[in-house]
Chains A and B, each alone.
Chain A
Amino acid sequence: MSENKVRELLKKQYVILDGGFGTELQKRGMKPGETSEIMNFVRPDDVEAIHRSYIEAGADIVNANTFGANRLKLAKTQYTTAEVVQKALSIARSAAEGTNALVALDVGPTGQLLEPAGTLSFEDAYDIFKEIIVAGRDLADVIMIETMTDLYEIKAALLAAKENSDLPVFTFMSFEKNGRTFTGCLPSSAALTLTGHGADAIGVNCSLAPDELYGIVEEMTHYTDLPIMVKANAGLPDPATGEYSVSSAKYVYDCIKYTKMGVKGYGGCCGTTPEYIRDLKKMLALHTPVPRAARPEVSSVCSYSRTVDITCPKIIGERINPTGKKLFKEALRNNDINYILNQALEQISAGADILDVNVGLPEIDEKEMMVRVVKALQGITDLPLQIDSTKPDVIEAALRVYNGKAIVNSVNGELAVMERILPIVKKYGASVVGLTLDENGIPPKAAQRVAIAERIAAKAAEYGIPKSDIFIDCLTLTVSTEQKAVYETLHAVRAVKEKLGMHTVLGVSNISFGLPTRELINSTFLSMALECGLDLPIINPNITAMSGAVFAYRVLAAHDENAVGFIERFGGETAKKPVVPKAEVTLSYAIEKGLDQDAQMLTKQRLEAGEDAMDIINNELIPALDRAGDDFGKNRIFLPQLILSANAAQACFTAIKEKMSGTARISKGKIVLATVKGDIHDIGKNIVKTLLENYGYTVIDLGKDVPEQKVVEAAIEHDVKLVGLSALMTTTLGAMEQTIRLLRESGHDCKVVVGGAVLTQDYADAIGADCYAKDAKDTVDFAKKILG
Chain B
Amino acid sequence: MIDVKKEALRYLGYRGKEPDEATAGLVDKGYDELSAVSHPRDCYRIVEKTAAESLLKGDGIAAHLAESSRVIFFAATLGSEADKLIRTAEIRNMAYALVLDALASAMTEAFCDALETRLHDEVGGFFTWRFSPGYGDYPIDIQPEIIRFLNADKLIGLTVTESNILIPRKSVTALIGVSDKEQSKGVRGCAACSMRGRCAFRSGGGVCRG
What are the nearest 9 A-B pairs in CB distance? A182-B157, A678-B163, A643-B95, A33-B149, A638-B13, A640-B23, A380-B88, A690-B94, A118-B167
Residue A345 contacts which of B22, B91, B159 (CB distance < 8 angstroms)? B91
Greatest chain A CB density within 10 A among B151, B157, B164, B194 is at B157
Q: Does B195 contact A (CB under 8 A)?
A: yes
Closest residue of B by beta carbon distance from A34: B148
Given contacts A117-B80, A647-B93, contact A183 B194 (CB under 8 A): no
CA distance A686 to B88 in the complex (A): 12
Given contacts A379-B87, A757-B198, contact A118 B161 (CB under 8 A): yes
* Residue-wise interface mask of A (662-686) relative to B, using a CB-CB cutoff of 8 A (1 in contact, 0 not): 0000000000000000111101001
Q: Are A758 and B84 in contact (CB under 8 A)?
A: no
**B91 contact set on A, CB distance < 8 A:** 338, 341-342, 345, 380
Residue A182 contacts which of B23, B80, B198 (CB distance < 8 angstroms)? B80
CA distance A72 to B153 in the complex (A): 14
Closest residue of B by beta carbon distance from A381: B88
CA distance A112 to B54 in the complex (A): 23
Q: Are A760 and B101 in contact (CB under 8 A)?
A: no
Given contacts A639-B13, A683-B90, A757-B198, contact A647 B95 (CB under 8 A): yes
Q: Are B84 and A117 in contact (CB under 8 A)?
A: yes
Q: Does A147 contact B (CB under 8 A)?
A: yes
**A635 contact set on B, CB distance < 8 A:** 13
**B17 contact set on A, CB distance < 8 A:** 638
Q: Does A552 contact B (CB under 8 A)?
A: no
Q: Does A1 contact B (CB under 8 A)?
A: no
Q: Does A729 contact B (CB under 8 A)?
A: yes
With an 8 Å Cβ cutoff, the count of chain A residues facing the other chain is: 62
Q: Does A641 contact B (CB under 8 A)?
A: yes
Q: Does A759 contact B (CB under 8 A)?
A: yes
Q: Does B109 contact A (CB under 8 A)?
A: no
Q: Does B186 contact A (CB under 8 A)?
A: no
* Residue-wise interface mask of A (467-486) relative to B, using a CB-CB cutoff of 8 A (1 in contact, 0 not): 00000000000000000000
A-B pairs with beta carbons under 8 Å apart, 5 shown: A112-B167, A118-B159, A120-B161, A643-B95, A680-B161
Q: Are B22 and A641 in contact (CB under 8 A)?
A: yes
Q: Does A742 contact B (CB under 8 A)?
A: no
Q: How far is the CB of A84 from chain B (nearest CB, A)?
A: 16
Which residues of chain A in 4-58 are interfacial with respect to chain B, using CB atoms and an 8 Å cutoff?
32-33, 35
Q: Are A683 and B46 in contact (CB under 8 A)?
A: no
CA distance A183 to B159 in the complex (A): 12
CA distance A732 to B161 in the complex (A): 12
Q: How far is the CB of B17 from chain A (nearest CB, A)?
A: 8
Q: Does B140 contact A (CB under 8 A)?
A: yes
Residue B161 contacts which of A119, A687, A758 (CB distance < 8 angstroms)? A119
Q: Does A102 contact B (CB under 8 A)?
A: no
Given contacts A32-B149, A379-B84, contact A679 B163 (CB under 8 A): yes
Closest residue of A by beta carbon distance from B92: A345
CA distance A381 to B87 in the complex (A): 10
Q: Are A594 and B87 in contact (CB under 8 A)?
A: no
Residue A184 contacts which of B12, B80, B162 (CB distance < 8 angstroms)? B80
CA distance A710 to B202 in the complex (A): 36
Q: Does A240 contact B (CB under 8 A)?
A: yes
Q: Does B107 contact A (CB under 8 A)?
A: no
**A247 contact set on B, CB distance < 8 A:** none
With an 8 Å Cβ cutoff, the count of chain B residues facing the other chain is: 59
Q: Are A731 and B164 in contact (CB under 8 A)?
A: yes
Q: How far is the CB of A699 from chain B (nearest CB, A)?
A: 13
Greatest chain A CB density within 10 A among B13, B140, B149 is at B13
**B19 contact set on A, CB distance < 8 A:** 638, 640
Q: Does B86 contact A (CB under 8 A)?
A: yes
Q: Does B156 contact A (CB under 8 A)?
A: yes
* Residue-wise interface mask of A (70-94) relative to B, using a CB-CB cutoff of 8 A (1 in contact, 0 not): 0010000000000000000000000
Q: Are B149 and A687 in contact (CB under 8 A)?
A: no
Q: Are A639 and B98 in contact (CB under 8 A)?
A: yes
Greatest chain A CB density within 10 A among B20, B22, B54, B91 is at B91
Q: Does A239 contact B (CB under 8 A)?
A: yes
* Residue-wise interface mask of B (1-20) relative to A, using a CB-CB cutoff of 8 A (1 in contact, 0 not): 00000000000111001011
**A687 contact set on B, CB distance < 8 A:** 94, 98
Q: Does A352 contact B (CB under 8 A)?
A: no
Q: Are B88 and A345 in contact (CB under 8 A)?
A: yes
**B97 contact set on A, CB distance < 8 A:** 683, 686
Closest residue of A by beta carbon distance from B17: A638
**B44 contact set on A, CB distance < 8 A:** 239
Q: Are A686 and B163 in contact (CB under 8 A)?
A: no
CA distance A758 to B134 in the complex (A): 13
Q: How far is the CB of B161 from chain A (nearest CB, A)?
A: 5
Q: Does B188 contact A (CB under 8 A)?
A: no
* Residue-wise interface mask of B (91-127) relative to A, using a CB-CB cutoff of 8 A (1 in contact, 0 not): 1111101110100000000000000000000000000
Q: Are A113 and B194 in contact (CB under 8 A)?
A: no
Q: How far is the CB of B197 from chain A (nearest CB, A)?
A: 7
CA distance A310 to B174 in the complex (A): 47
* Residue-wise interface mask of B (138-167) relative to A, using a CB-CB cutoff of 8 A (1 in contact, 0 not): 001100010011010110110111111101
Q: How far is the CB of B49 from chain A (nearest CB, A)?
A: 14
* Residue-wise interface mask of A (624-668) relative to B, using a CB-CB cutoff of 8 A (1 in contact, 0 not): 000000000001011111011011000000000000000000000
Closest residue of A by beta carbon distance from B73: A239
Given contacts A647-B93, A678-B162, A686-B94, contact A758 B151 (CB under 8 A): no
Q: Are B157 and A686 in contact (CB under 8 A)?
A: no
Q: Are B12 and A640 in contact (CB under 8 A)?
A: yes
CA distance A729 to B163 in the complex (A): 9
Q: Does A456 contact B (CB under 8 A)?
A: no
Q: Are A679 and B165 in contact (CB under 8 A)?
A: yes
Residue B198 contacts which of A33, A111, A732, A760 (CB distance < 8 angstroms)? A760
Q: Are A640 and B26 in contact (CB under 8 A)?
A: yes
Q: Are A116 and B87 in contact (CB under 8 A)?
A: yes
**B101 contact set on A, CB distance < 8 A:** 683
**A240 contact set on B, CB distance < 8 A:** 45-46
Q: How far is the CB of A340 from chain B (nearest CB, A)?
A: 10
Greatest chain A CB density within 10 A among B55, B93, B153, B159 is at B159
CA distance A679 to B169 in the complex (A): 12
**A740 contact set on B, CB distance < 8 A:** none
CA distance A379 to B83 in the complex (A): 10
Q: How far is the CB of B162 from chain A (nearest CB, A)?
A: 7
CA distance A680 to B156 in the complex (A): 21
Q: Does B168 contact A (CB under 8 A)?
A: yes
CA distance A182 to B14 in the complex (A): 34
Given contacts A32-B149, A729-B163, contact A646 B194 (CB under 8 A): no
Q: Does B40 contact A (CB under 8 A)?
A: no
Q: Are B84 and A239 in contact (CB under 8 A)?
A: no
Q: Are B165 and A729 in contact (CB under 8 A)?
A: yes
Q: Does A149 contact B (CB under 8 A)?
A: yes
CA distance A72 to B55 in the complex (A): 20
A112-B162, A184-B81 given; 17 more Cβ-contact pairs under 8 Å:
A33-B54, A33-B55, A112-B159, A113-B168, A183-B157, A207-B154, A593-B22, A594-B95, A641-B95, A644-B22, A646-B94, A646-B95, A678-B161, A678-B163, A690-B94, A730-B194, A759-B198
